[in-house]
Structure 1
Amino acid sequence: MRLESRDRGLDDSLVITLAPLDVAQAYALVSDPAHGAAVVMTGMVRNQTAGRPVVALDYQAYEPMAVTVFRQIAVAVRQQWPTVGRVVIWHRIGRLSIGEISVVVAVGSPHRAEAFEGCRYAIDTLKHTAPIWKKELWADGSGSWVNIGNCLVEDVSASGQRHP
C-alpha cells in the first residue's frame, strides 16, 4: 500500500509505503537549481538495541493520520525556515530486515543551515508525533513494541492556518 499526500502548491512528497525507499529519488525531489543545499537523512534497521541482538523490525502505522502529521511537519519546517523548498518524508511499514531503510527525510534550501535544521526538526518531530509503531524482533524469537511520543494532530494548511 502506498499513500501519498501533496500540500497545495508545495509539491511535497509525503508517503507511507510497503515498498523499499529510493534515496536517490528523494534527493532528486528536493534538488532545485535555486538551492545550494539538499540534506537527506535515512533511518536504517540496526542489528541491536542496547546490546541485545535484533533480527528485524515490524512497523505499523495509522496511515491517513501519519500522512496528515507528515504534512503538518512540512508546514512547520517552512514556518521556521521560510527559504526551504520541497520536503520529502517517507516511512516504510511492514517487516524490515537489518540494513533496510525505514525512513527518509529530505529538505532542500538555498543554504545548508536551513536544510540541516529543517531536516533534523522533521525527523525529530516525526519520531515523537507520527502514529507509527515498531516492534523489535529479537534473536531469541521474542519481540517488544517500542513506545512513541504523543500523537498530536491538527489540520494545518499550507498557509500555516490552523483548522479544528
Structure 2
Amino acid sequence: MSGCDSDARDLIRLTFDKLSTDTVSESVVCPSCGAVSMFIGTTRNSFEGKKVVQLEYEAYIPMAEAQLKTIFREIRKRWPSVKHICVHHRLGIVPVTEASVIIGISSTHRSESLEAVRYCIDTLKATVPIWKKEVYETEGSSWKENKECLWAGN
C-alpha cells in the first residue's frame, strides 16, 4: 500500500504471523509528511538473570482493538499534525529477536511523530488487554505484567 494525502488512516493488526517493519512503514508514509517514526519491540533473551527462549502473547481482540482506537483518538487530539497511525501486534509465540509489536506514525514534522510513538507504546502497555508470558530455558515460564499496566497490583 503506498502512502497518500487522502484522509488519515488508523491501522490495527493483531496477528499470529511474523511482523514486517516494511509493511508498517509503507502503510504510514505520506507525501505531505516529513517524518515517519517507528517503534519495534522485540523479544530479548534474558530477564532478571533467567534465559528467555520465547514470549507468548494472548489478547482479548475486540477490547484490544477498541482500546487502540481510543489511543489513536488521543494521539490525534494531542498531536494534530499526525497523519497515519499503524499498530501491528503479534500474538502467540514470538521467538528471541523477533518483533512482538511495531508502531508507525507519520506527521508533518519529526517531534510530533516521535512523541506520539512514545505515547502510543506506553499507553498500549498500560491499557490494552494483551498479556505476555515469558518462557525460560530451565525455570519454566511466568506471566508478566507491564510496569505501566493500570490494573497491576501497585
Structure 1 residue 109: Cα displacement: 0.3
Q: 1:98 is matched with which residue: 90, 96, 101? A: 96
Question: How big is the alpha-carbon RMSD for the aligned residues of Structure 1 and Structure 2?
Answer: 1.2
Residue type of the partner of 1:29? S
Structure 1 residue 28: Cα displacement: 0.8
Structure 1 residue 51: Cα displacement: 2.4
Residue type of the partner of 2:70? Q
Q: Which runs of 5+ in 2 are unaligned?
A: 1-6
Asked if 1 retains the 8 angstrom alpha-carbon contact of 2:51 and 2:136, the reply is yes
**TM-score w.r.t. length of structure 1:** 0.84
- In the comparison of the two structures, how many residue pairs are matched? 143
Q: Which runs of 5+ in 1 are unaligned?
A: 1-8, 152-164
Which residue does the alignment assign to 1:12?
10
Residue type of the partner of 2:62? P
- Within-5 A mapping of 1:8-87: 10-87=8-85
Q: 2:86 is matched with which residue: 83, 88, 109? A: 88
| CA-to-aligned-CA distance 1:24-74 (integer Å, 9 cap, x gap) | 111111110100000011000000012211001010000110011111111
Percentage identity across paired residues of the two chains: 36
**TM-score w.r.t. length of structure 2:** 0.89
Asked if 1 retains the 8 angstrom alpha-carbon contact of 2:84 and 2:105, the reply is yes
Which residue does the alignment assign to 1:154?
none
Structure 1 residue 141: Cα displacement: 5.0
- Looking at structure 1, the residues matched to 36 and 48 of structure 2 have their Cα atoms a distance apart, in angstroms, of 32
